[in-house]
C-alpha cells in the first residue's frame, strides 16, 4: 500500500524563454506553504526542491504535473539539453501540462520579438500550431502577463482534489476566464455613461475611450480576484492591457485605437452599430455625481 | 370601407404635418390645421400625439430613422468608400427634391428651434439612428484605409453641412440648376476632402 506521502502529486516546473515573472508571481500566493505541503516539488527554479536541474535534465524521472513557463523555442537548450526533449519526456507520463503565463500559452512577449521561432505550447497566438499538439488533452493554459498567483493556486488545488477543470476553446479554465476584466471594475458606471478618465491614477472616469483599456474584451478575473488581495490595474488607474488574450501584446497600450474617434474594438459580443447608438445617447446625459471628484461630491445638495 | 390601421394613420399625420410645417412654418401651423388637413377631429389627433411638441420630436425621429435606413443600405453594399459617398449624396439630393418637407423640417425646424427639442431630444437622442449610420460609414472608411483619420464631428460636419447647405440653397431657389446637376462634383469634393492623405 502507498503511504500518504506517495499519493502526493509530483510537480515539475520547467522554463522556456522567460522573464521569470510567473515564478515570482507564484511566490506571492498567500497560501503557498499550505499548497506546497500538499504536493511534492521535484524541481522549481527559485525554491528548494527534491532534485537539482542537472538531475532533472537527464530525463530519467517522471512527474504528474508539468508546469511550463515562458515561450517555446525549438533551439533553446538548458544544461546542454534541448528544452523540447525535456518537454517531450516529462509530458508523456504527466496527467496535466500547465502552461503558465501568456508566453507559454500563446507566445506572448517573446513570440512578438522572435515570431518565427517562439510560440506557446499548444497555440501560436490563436492558431493551434504549437509543438505539443500530441498531448493537447493534457494542456491547461493559464494566460496572463504574468499570471495571477491565485489562478495557478486554484488550478493546482482542483487537480489535487481530483476535480474536473472545465476549459474554454483556448484551454483556459472557464471558472477563471469566463469573466472579463471589465467585470468587477469599479469604473463600470463611468463606462455606462461614457465619462472618460482625465488622466492616469485617478479614481474617477473610465479608461476605455482614451487610455486604451481592453477590459471589455479581455477574459480575465483580475477585478474579481484582486491582486495581492487588494487591487488591480483598473482599480489603481491603469488600463487593462489585454494580457490574457492570444493577441497580446498589442502596440500602444495607453491608446485606444479609434477610427474618426470611434473605438475600433467594442465590448465583446456587442454589435458595433448598437454600441454606437447606445454610447451616443448615454453621452447626452450629464450626471453631476460622475463629473467631479468623488470626494467632493455632496450627498445632500 | 376597410379600416386603416393606427400605424398608417399616424404616418399619414406625420406626412401632413411635415407638409404644413414646411408650407406655413412651424409656429403658425396649429393642431386644428393638421387635423383638418388629415380629415380627422382635433380630439382624434390627440389620440396619436399628445401635444405639438411631442409631434415635433417624433418627426425628427421619423426623418432620422428614414435617413439612417437609407444609409444603412448603402453601408452594407460591397462598394468602395468613394462610391458610397456618391450614393449618399444621390440619396440625399433625391430626398431633398422629392420630399423637400423632410429635409426642410430638419434644417429649419429641428436645427433652428432647439427650445422645442430641449427635453427628450437632447444631444443625439432623436437623431441617433442617422448619426450612428454615419459613424459606421466613417469608421469603415478609415478602417479600410480610404479615409483620413480625424475627429468624427469634423468629418460629419463637413459632409452633412455641405449637403444641408446645398439643399437649403435649392429650397431658396438660388441654385441655377436642379440638385441632381451637382451630384458628381459634390461627391468628388467630399471624397477629396475626406480621403486619406498620401
Ligand atoms: S476602466 Fe476598463 S475595465 Fe474599467 S469600466 Fe472602463 S473599460 Fe471597463
Residue A143 CA to ligand 1 centre (angstroms): 20
* ipTM attached to this prediction: 0.83
Please give the Cα distance from B48 to B35 (Å, whole number). Answer: 11
Whole-number average pLDDT of chain A: 94
| Pair (A142, A51) in one structural domain | yes
* Mean pLDDT to the nearest integer, A258-264: 94
For the segment A139-156, what is each residue's pLDDT rounded down to a tens digit? 999 999 999 999 999 999
pTM of the model: 0.87
Q: Is residue A248 part of a domain?
A: yes
- Measure Cα distances from A43 to A13, A107, A140 in Å: 6, 23, 19
Which pLDDT tens digits describe chain B residue by residue (198 residues)?
567 788 888 989 999 999 999 888 899 999 999 999 999 999 999 999 999 989 999 999 999 999 999 999 999 999 999 999 999 999 999 999 999 999 989 888 888 888 888 788 888 888 999 999 999 999 999 999 999 999 999 999 999 999 999 999 998 999 999 999 999 999 999 999 999 998
* Mean pLDDT to the nearest integer, A67-73: 98
- Alpha-carbon Rg for chain B in angstroms: 18
Q: How many CB pairs under 8 A join A and B?
A: 56
Q: Residue B161 sits in which domain range?
A: 51-194
Residue A5: pLDDT band by 50, 70, 90 thresholds?
low
* Mean pLDDT to the nearest integer, A57-66: 97
- Tell me which of A194, A209, A255, A259 to substitute to probe the interface with B (most B C-beta atoms closer than 10 Å): A259
Q: Is residue A299 part of a domain?
A: no
B139 contact residues in A (CB cutoff 8 A): 259-260, 262, 264, 272
What percent of chain A has pLDDT above 90? 88
3-state DSSP call for residue B147?
strand
- Is pLDDT at A185 greater than 90 in this prediction? yes
Asked which of A137, A158, A176 is the last residue of a domain, the reply is: A176
| Pair (A192, A171) in one structural domain | no
Asked which of A155, A176, A197 is the last residue of a domain, the reply is: A176
Q: Is residue B4 part of a domain?
A: no
- Residues B45, B10: contact at Cβ < 8 Å? no
For the segment A208-258, what is each residue's pLDDT rounded down to a tens digit? 999 999 999 999 999 999 999 999 999 999 999 999 999 999 999 999 999
- The better pLDDT of the pair A100, B6 is held by A100
| Pair (A22, A168) in one structural domain | yes
- Is pLDDT at A1 greater than 60 in this prediction? no
pLDDT at A253: 93
* Cross-chain Cβ contact B124/A284 below 8 Å: yes
| Pair (A67, A147) in one structural domain | yes
Asked which of A145, A176, A207 is the last residue of a domain, the reply is: A176
Q: Is residue B45 part of a domain?
A: no
Q: Residue A264 sits in which domain range?
A: 179-292
- Residues A125, A118: contact at Cβ < 8 Å? no
Q: Which of residues 237-296 of A touch B (CB under 8 A)?
A: 258-262, 264, 272-273, 276-277, 280-281, 283-285
3-state DSSP call for residue B195?
strand
* Cross-chain Cβ contact A273/B132 below 8 Å: yes
CATH of the domain at A233: 4.10.480.10
Q: Is residue A297 part of a domain?
A: no
pLDDT at B2: 61
Q: Quote the cell numbers at residue A249.
A: 501584446
pLDDT at B115: 82
- Strands A139-142, A77-78: pairing kind: unpaired
User: CA torsion, points A12, A18, A21, A26, in degrees to nearest 10?
Assistant: -10
Please give the Cα distance from A160 to A156 (Å, whole number). Answer: 6
The structural domain count of chain A equals: 2
Contacts of A88 (CB under 8 A, 6+ apart): none
- Is pLDDT at A299 greater than 90 in this prediction? no
Place of cell 488574450: A245
| Pair (A72, A104) in one structural domain | yes
| Pair (A54, A198) in one structural domain | no
Q: Is residue B163 part of a domain?
A: yes
**Length, in residues, of chain A:** 301
Q: Is residue B103 part of a domain?
A: yes
Does ligand 1 come within 6 angstroms of the Cβ of A191? yes
Long-range contacts of B79-83 (CB under 8 A, 24+ apart): B80/B146, B81/B140, B81/B141, B81/B144, B81/B146, B81/B147, B81/B191, B82/B146, B82/B187, B82/B191, B82/B195
Residue A199: pLDDT band by 50, 70, 90 thresholds?
confident
CATH of the domain at A25: 3.40.50.700
- Is cis: bond before A185, omega within 30 of 0? no
| Pair (A19, A115) in one structural domain | yes
| Pair (A186, A261) in one structural domain | yes
CATH of the domain at B152: 1.10.357.10
The structural domain count of chain B equals: 1
Q: Quote the cell numbers at residue B47.
A: 389620440
Q: Is residue A3 part of a domain?
A: no
Amino acid at each position: 500500500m502507498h503511504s500518504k506521502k506517495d499519493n502526493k502529486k509530483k510537480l515539475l516546473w520547467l522554463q522556456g524563454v522567460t522573464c521569470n515573472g510567473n515564478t515570482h508571481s507564484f511566490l506571492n500566493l498567500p497560501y503557498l506553504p499550505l499548497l506546497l505541503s500538499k504536493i511534492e516539488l521535484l524541481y522549481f527554479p527559485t525554491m528548494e526542491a527534491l532534485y537539482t536541474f542537472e538531475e532533472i535534465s537527464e530525463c530519467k524521472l517522471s512527474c504528474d504535473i508539468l508546469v511550463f513557463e515562458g515561450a517555446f523555442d525549438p533551439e533553446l537548450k538548458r544544461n546542454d539539453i534541448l528544452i523540447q526533449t525535456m518537454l517531450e519526456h516529462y509530458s508523456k507520463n504527466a496527467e496535466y501540462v500547465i502552461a503558465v503565463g501568456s508566453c507559454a500559452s500563446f507566445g506572448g512577449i517573446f513570440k512578438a520579438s522572435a515570431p518565427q521561432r517562439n510560440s506557446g505550447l499548444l497555440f501560436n497566438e490563436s492558431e493551434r500550431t504549437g509543438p505539443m499538439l500530441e498531448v493537447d488533452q493534457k494542456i491547461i493554459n493559464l494566460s496572463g502577463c504574468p499570471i495571477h498567483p491565485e489562478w495557478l493556486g486554484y488550478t493546482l488545488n482542483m487537480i489535487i482534489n481530483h476535480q474536473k477543470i472545465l476549459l474554454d476553446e483556448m484551454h483556459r479554465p472557464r471558472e477563471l476566464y469566463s469573466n472579463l476584466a471589465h467585470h468587477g471594475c469599479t469604473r463600470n458606471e463611468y463606462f455606462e455613461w461614457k465619462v472618460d478618465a482625465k488622466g492616469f491614477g485617478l479614481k474617477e472616469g473610465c479608461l476605455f475611450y482614451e487610455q486604451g483599456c481592453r477590459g471589455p474584451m479581455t477574459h480575465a478575473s483580475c477585478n474579481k480576484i484582486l491582486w495581492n488581495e487588494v487591487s488591480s490595474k483598473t482599480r489603481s488607474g491603469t488600463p487593462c492591457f489585454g494580457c490574457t488574450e492570444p493577441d497580446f501584446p498589442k502596440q500602444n497600450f495607453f491608446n485606444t485605437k479609434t477610427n474618426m474617434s470611434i473605438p475600433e474594438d467594442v465590448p465583446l459580443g456587442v454589435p458595433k452599430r448598437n454600441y454606437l447608438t447606445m454610447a451616443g445617447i448615454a453621452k447626452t446625459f450629464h450626471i453631476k455625481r460622475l463629473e467631479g471628484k468623488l470626494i467632493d461630491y455632496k450627498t445632500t445638495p | 370601407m376597410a379600416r386603416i390601421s393606427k400605424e398608417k394613420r399616424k404616418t399619414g399625420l406625420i406626412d401632413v404635418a411635415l407638409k404644413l410645417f414646411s408650407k406655413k412654418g412651424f409656429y403658425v401651423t396649429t393642431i386644428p390645421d393638421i387635423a383638418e388637413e388629415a380629415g380627422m377631429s382635433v380630439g382624434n389627433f390627440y389620440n396619436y400625439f399628445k401635444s405639438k411638441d411631442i409631434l415635433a420630436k417624433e418627426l425628427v425621429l421619423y426623418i432620422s430613422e428614414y435617413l439612417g435606413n437609407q444609409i444603412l443600405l448603402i453601408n452594407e453594399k460591397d462598394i468602395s468608400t468613394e462610391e458610397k459617398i456618391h450614393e449618399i449624396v444621390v440619396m440625399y439630393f433625391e430626398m431633398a427634391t422629392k420630399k423637400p418637407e423632410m429635409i426642410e423640417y430638419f434644417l429649419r425646424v429641428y436645427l433652428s428651434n432647439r427650445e422645442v427639442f430641449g427635453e427628450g431630444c437632447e444631444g443625439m437622442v432623436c437623431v441617433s439612428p442617422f448619426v450612428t449610420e454615419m459613424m459606421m460609414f466613417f469608421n469603415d472608411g478609415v478602417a479600410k484605409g480610404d479615409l483620413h483619420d480625424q475627429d468624427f464631428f469634423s468629418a460629419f460636419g463637413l459632409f452633412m453641412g455641405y449637403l444641408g447647405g446645398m439643399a437649403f440653397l435649392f429650397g431658396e431657389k438660388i441654385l441655377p440648376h436642379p440638385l441632381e446637376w451637382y451630384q458628381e462634383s459634390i461627391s468628388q469634393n467630399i471624397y477629396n476632402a475626406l480621403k486619406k492623405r498620401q
